[in-house]
Structure 1
Amino acid sequence: MHKRIGKKGRSGSWISILLVSWLLAIALPSAVWAAEKPYPNKSINMIVPYAPASGADLGSKIMADKMTEFLGQPIVSVYKPGGGGSLGAAFAAKAKPDGYTVLVGSVSPVVLSPIVKNLDYKLEDFVILGTYSKIPLWLAVKKEARWNTLKEFVEDAKKNPGKFSISTFGKLTAVDFVLELLNKHAGIKLVNVPYKSSGEALTALLGGHAEGAMVSGASGHLEAGNVRILAVADEQRLEGLPDVPTFRDFGYPIVVTSHYSFCFPKGTPPKVADRFFDAQKKAVERYPKEIKSGLRKVEQWADFRSLEESRKIFKEADELFAKLAKELGVSVR
């Protein structure tokens, strides 16, 4: 037996339908608006894979400070040192690809580490977002050290095989490769003493715990006059430092360069990556002198490249280090 629905029941049903329709009319545009909320709408975590005061830290802060103006949100440094930069790189590679985790990338953690270590990431797991600087890899000694040239240093090292300690920012890193190539070509045995960053490696040098430091940049110590550079692993002498010779000037075919680039994890939406890169580009265009001078104070050379150019640079570095790793017998590929 069916019950009849009275006028009151029917009107109540219509009221319910109208109420639901009204709520949907309000909720749907809000949901669409939330889904299309412009990027970024909160702070961005910048993963620094080395300790504070490292080249990665100092240079990225200069860029981040200027980029904030164009992003409308702060970029916050998050330190994850260790493993020659691979711990921070691994963290960033596995982060949610939403544009709120960006790695301060360079050749050592992004390219070299996956070639010589069994890691759960590789170069292809990152979106390279244009380079912003180039940092020299060089051999530094204390300013008052008894060696005035690389030639004198090598001659002394030959007389003391295995007794010269060289502080670096890690084993199986770009500077470790430069060190091993110098050992090979000069016929010497320098011992790698690894630290968590170039800053820590230089502190060890200045504290008398190493004869030299094979580092990237000099964390301000060159500017301060605390260290002297014996040789740089570049194709030619650096702009502004004409008195700093290359390894090639001494007959050693050692050329290993390193660029810094912000990197998103693979899968980050292209429009998000483009938005971040655009902020970087606008910062460089508006503040070229401030960025260039700021980077030079921490021994980095401004080198802003397009997305295509930067990805080519990292791809070529991958090919170079794969070749060197096989020559030195340390490749895991």
Structure 2
Amino acid sequence: MAFTRRKTLGQWLPLIALAAACGMGGAQAQDQYPSKPIRVIVPYPAGGGTDIIARLIGVQLSQRLGQAVVVENKPGASGILGNDTVAKAPGDGYTVLMGITTVVQIPALYKKVPYKLGDLAPVSQVAKSADLLMVPRSSGVTTLEQFVQQAKAAPGKFNFGSYGNATSSHMNGERFKQKAGIDITHIPYQGSGPEMAAMLGGQLTLAFVDATAAYPHIKSDKINILAVTGAQRHPALPQVPTMTEAGYPGLEANGWFGMFVPAATPKAIVDKLGAEVSSIVKTPELNKRLTEMGLIAVGSLPDDFKAQIDKDAAHWKSVVEAAKISMD
């Protein structure tokens, strides 16, 4: 009997040694990360805000890690193509996604998505934004309650602009309609630029405009900014109340830019990337650039970003379901 046990142990020893070697090899690979160039996938065209932020971070990340960081634009299907590229990439830390809020909105908007939200591991929330709710100054409206009273007195007369169907501004507008009990017509535009131009041109009676597009115009004498979405007031507009402060809660979610890697990526690599990105975002140089874009720098670590993702996914799903918004 003893002989049999010794023989069995002898058979297992090579396998145990092999497993230990593999484990040491995996740990060593993580310690050496990165050992080759890193791809940052941007699921939108070059030149936009997401692309600019990815390239700003990429330059500093390359300097810190000692490897090239290459930004690749993979636009298509409202960001789904680029998101899916990263979700299906090897979990080795060499394929990173620079995503935006749509990452958590897409699962609620489409019945069929080629990946799951859980296929992506949060690395860092880089920056957050807000929608500014504004009216033409010529309207004479200076408070949100004034607009609500006018809209209630004339159902269907007023409209609200958004920077596109099923975007955060569309969802915020629908949630506002529900909270205020008003009937206003949604007018979607192909982006914040055309939407802002329509507001300045007096073609809209109300609009939820992304802060990045509105930032150069926040002091314009052609608009009155009545409120901002998000949980806090915007640093550039400290006098403007949040939607909650103005009496209409339920629009506390911010838009954001954030980095992700495939879910199979080892935690040690996720944490290393998160720490580097967080440190970069908090440098005076990048903080200044983000502020100039109308954004609020964040630079969170992976666990904090994960908590925000979970919260936002539930929020946007509830808005989509209540307003019956769908992209199918």
Q: TM-score, normalised by structure 1?
A: 0.73
Amino acid at match of 2:188: V
Q: Residue 75 of structure 1 aligns with which residue?
A: 69
Q: Secondary structure at the match of 1:178?
A: helix
Q: Residue 42 of structure 1 aligns with which residue?
A: 37
The runs of 5 or more residues in structure 1 that have no matched partner are 1-31
Q: Secondary structure at the match of 1:219?
A: helix
Report which stretch shifted further, 176-185 or 258-267. 258-267
Alignment pair present for 1:244 and 2:215: no
State the Cα RMSD in Å.
3.3
Looking at structure 2, the residues matched to 267 and 132 of structure 1 have their Cα atoms a distance apart, in angstroms, of 21
Shift of 1:130: 1.9
Report the structure number with the largest CA radius of gyration. Answer: 1
Q: Residue 294 of structure 2 aligns with which residue?
A: 299
Looking at structure 2, the residues matched to 86 and 150 of structure 1 have their Cα atoms a distance apart, in angstroms, of 35
Alignment pair present for 1:188 and 2:188: no
Shift of 1:166: 0.5
Q: Residue 229 of structure 1 aligns with which residue?
A: 225
The C-alpha deviation readout for 1:57-88, integer Å capped at 9, x for no partner, is: 34444433332321223434433445544343
Looking at structure 2, the residues matched to 145 and 298 of structure 1 have their Cα atoms a distance apart, in angstroms, of 28
Q: 1:70 to 1:164 in 2, by over 3 A?
A: same
Contact 2:129 2:256 (8 Å CA) reproduced:
yes
Provide the aligned length of Structure 1 versus Structure 2. 293
Q: Secondary structure at the match of 1:103?
A: strand
Report which stretch shifted further, 140-149 or 60-69. 140-149
Contact 1:84 1:173 (8 Å CA) reproduced:
no
Q: 1:235 to 1:280 in 2, by over 3 A?
A: closer
Amino acid at match of 1:275: K
Shift of 1:240: 4.3
Q: Residue 133 of structure 2 aligns with which residue?
A: 139
Q: 1:90 to 1:212 in 2, by over 3 A?
A: farther
Looking at structure 2, the residues matched to 190 and 60 of structure 1 have their Cα atoms a distance apart, in angstroms, of 35
Q: Secondary structure at the match of 1:250?
A: coil
Contact 2:40 2:98 (8 Å CA) reproduced:
no
Q: Residue 150 of structure 1 aligns with which residue?
A: 144
Contact 1:52 1:79 (8 Å CA) reproduced:
no
Identity %: 25
Contact 1:48 1:77 (8 Å CA) reproduced:
no
The runs of 5 or more residues in structure 2 that have no matched partner are 1-24
Q: Residue 277 of structure 1 aligns with which residue?
A: 274
Q: Residue 20 of structure 1 aligns with which residue?
A: none
Shift of 1:191: 1.0
Shift of 1:145: 6.9
Looking at structure 1, the residues matched to 218 and 247 of structure 2 have their Cα atoms a distance apart, in angstroms, of 30
Question: What is the aligned counterpart of 1:218 among 212, 223, 230?
Answer: 212
Alignment of 1:105-144 (within 5 A): 105-107=99-101, 109-118=102-111, 119-141=113-135
Looking at structure 1, the residues matched to 126 and 195 of structure 2 have their Cα atoms a distance apart, in angstroms, of 24
Looking at structure 1, the residues matched to 176 and 236 of structure 2 have their Cα atoms a distance apart, in angstroms, of 25
Looking at structure 1, the residues matched to 302 and 158 of structure 2 have their Cα atoms a distance apart, in angstroms, of 45
Looking at structure 2, the residues matched to 82 and 203 of structure 1 have their Cα atoms a distance apart, in angstroms, of 25
Looking at structure 2, the residues matched to 262 and 297 of structure 1 have their Cα atoms a distance apart, in angstroms, of 20
